[in-house]
Amino acid sequence: MTGRFDLVLRGGHVVDPANGTDSVMDVGFRLGKVAQVTERIDDGLADDVIDASGKIVMPGHIDTHAHLSSPFNNSVNRAYGHVMLAESGTTTALDLAGEPGALAEGMRSQGAGLNVAGLMGLIPHSTVKDDDPSLPVMRDVVADALGRGAIGVKLLGGYHPFTLESTADVIAAANEQLAWVAFHVGSKDSGSDLNGLREVPEIVGGGRLHVAHINSYCRGLVMDNLKECAEAFEIIESKRSQFVTEAYLAQINGTNGKCDEDGNLVYNVAQNCMKARGYPTTDAGMRQALLDGYGGALVERGGRIVIVTGEDAVRAWEEQKTDASLSFPVNPATSAFTLTTEKYDDGEFRIDAVSTDGGSLPRNVAIERTMALVSFGALSLLEAAKKLSYTPSRMLGLLNKGHFSEGADGDVTVVDPSTGKAMMSLVNAQPIMIGGRVVGRGGKWLVTGAGE
């Protein structure tokens, strides 16, 4: 398409797996959409030109697992996640396990120009009334979530596990209404580990399911972590057409250190963190782990969420009466590498996307860690863009994102190849981040027809 352009990105290394583009090109935008990708666009045709020479220009990163309205640790301002994600170069995010009202309020108060969709976390006696909701109850819960602006629901098996029967009912109820359903695996019969993943093929039935952060089940808790990766691949392949999957590349996780009246850790994820290093799954074990610097506590500092360690971590944990957000370095690098790079015989990746599991958690490193794999030679640039942008767009049904075809949304992530970090990002051809500084405001809330 010829004619004038509102903006031209000049001379960047354009990487677009959907169209096979992997060369220095100009990208022209009109009315927030991609209008032309070509070797040269005349300056006289552009209202504005941004020099992208020497930089990588890829479709905007779509994060298929982020946290912007987490139900945990309400004392931490959850709205910071919008800014923290945008700073890392993300343009679109799926908020897993939040609450629609909190998501909207975060966009109003501290939005950074992101496109955001959200799933409602299923918490007994909070977002769902029963410990083990029945199929009729879940039909009502899913319909209510959709009507309030979520695109679906998330099962929090590592924190609030249901029976296998109830878990299957959740998946069935969501599929009946064409709602998204994601699963942090684990049931009342298993944990948030490979054993929990082993249950998933049986409970999914004929439905579709987003199996969250596969790396969380390949930490060496059941057997050697690489053997866990191999079995995870087999499990996923058994229902390949029904699952979508992602894994994150940060070493640190996120959990909650809540203890019961007897001083025992409540949540399976936190228990696993203690078991991984031989600490007791008690308040005494958690206190010692924090003092030893094994883990840290998430606190607000200067308008961001950061991790503090040692006595500062213990103090933050105790001030919250143990109901505090914590983080531990439990993700093996070998698992992260394997889960990100392994392919089927047909050349498709075994794990669909690279996510952050970040947002308000300080581990928004999907882009820079994926680019490190490019530098290492484990991924090509086209493959990196496929895992960061194109495949996530297909997962979420955002067919006008993830590529630079004419008429596609003008969502762009610009990466500095010398650092692997995003140095600019645009949504609808408008900058939301420049040089690590967020300039975007508000955001676009992606909802279903029921939520409009």
Cα separation of the two ends of the chain: 33
Reference 166, options 186, 150, 149, 151; nearest CA is 186
**Cβ partners under 8 Å of residue 261, min gap 6:** none
- pLDDT(73) > 70: no
- Are 138 and 170 within one domain? yes
Percent of the chain with pLDDT over 70: 98
Q: Are 47 and 415 in contact (CB under 8 A)?
A: no
- pLDDT(74) > 60: no
Question: What is the Cα–Cα distance from 120 to 70, expressed in whole angstroms?
Answer: 9
Count CB atoms within 10 A of the CB of residue 341.
16
Report if residue 439 sits inside a domain: no
- Are 51 and 68 within one domain? no
Cα–chain center distance at 118: 11
Give the mean model confidence (pLDDT) for residues 428-451.
Answer: 97
- Are 186 and 247 within one domain? yes
- Are 65 and 99 within one domain? yes
Mean pLDDT taken over the chain? 96
Give the mean model confidence (pLDDT) for residues 33-46.
Answer: 96
Q: So what's the pLDDT on residue 2?
A: 60
pLDDT band (50, 70, 90) for residue 184:
very high
Q: What confidence tens digit (pLDDT) does each residue in 391-417 have?
A: 999 999 999 999 999 999 999 999 999
Q: So what's the pLDDT on residue 316?
A: 96
Report if residue 404 sits inside a domain: no
State the pTM of this model: 0.96
Burial of 83 (0-12, 13-18, 19+ CB in 10 A): buried
Give the mean model confidence (pLDDT) for residues 38-64.
Answer: 97
Name the one residue in this structure whose structure tokens are 């309205």. Answer: 69
Question: What is the Cα–Cα distance from 115 to 126, expressed in whole angstroms?
Answer: 27
Q: So what's the pLDDT on residue 70?
A: 74
Q: Hey, what amino acid is at 391? A: T
Q: So what's the pLDDT on residue 75?
A: 46
Q: What is the DSSP letter of 193?
A: S
Question: What is the Cα–Cα distance from 414 to 84, expressed in whole angstroms?
Answer: 17
Beta bridge partners of 121: 154
Residue 253: strand, helix, or coil:
coil
- Are 244 and 180 within one domain? yes
Question: What is the Cα–Cα distance from 37 to 247, expressed in whole angstroms?
Answer: 31
Q: Which domain holds residue 21?
A: 7-59+409-433
Query: Residue 94: which CATH number?
Result: 3.20.20.140
- pLDDT(209) > 90: yes
Q: So what's the pLDDT on residue 303?
A: 83
Report if residue 446 sits inside a domain: no
Reference 235, options 139, 144, 350, 108; nearest CA is 350
- Are 188 and 310 within one domain? no
- pLDDT(186) > 70: yes
Query: Residue 39: which CATH number?
Result: 2.30.40.10
Q: So what's the pLDDT on residue 369?
A: 98
- Are 246 and 387 within one domain? yes
Report if residue 336 sits inside a domain: yes
Give the mean model confidence (pLDDT) for residues 208-212.
Answer: 98
**How many structural domains is the chain composed of?**
3
Give the mean model confidence (pLDDT) for residues 39-59.
Answer: 96
- Are 136 and 219 within one domain? yes
- Are 28 and 113 within one domain? no
Question: What is the Cα–Cα distance from 177 to 412, expressed in whole angstroms?
Answer: 32
Report if residue 72 sits inside a domain: yes
Of the residues 270, 297, 327, which one is the last residue of a structural domain? 327
- Are 14 and 120 within one domain? no
Q: What confidence tens digit (pLDDT) does each residue in 225-244 have?
A: 999 999 999 999 999 999 99
Give the mean model confidence (pLDDT) for residues 282-309.
Answer: 95
Report if residue 452 sits inside a domain: no
- Are 427 and 309 within one domain? no
Report if residue 313 sits inside a domain: yes
Q: So what's the pLDDT on residue 72?
A: 58
Report if residue 294 sits inside a domain: yes
- Are 51 and 146 within one domain? no
Reference 404, options 376, 384, 385; nearest CA is 385
- pLDDT(215) > 80: yes
Q: So what's the pLDDT on residue 302?
A: 86
Q: How far is CA 387 from CA 339, 341, 349, 366, 392, in A?
A: 12, 10, 8, 10, 7
Of the residues 296, 327, 358, which one is the last residue of a structural domain? 327
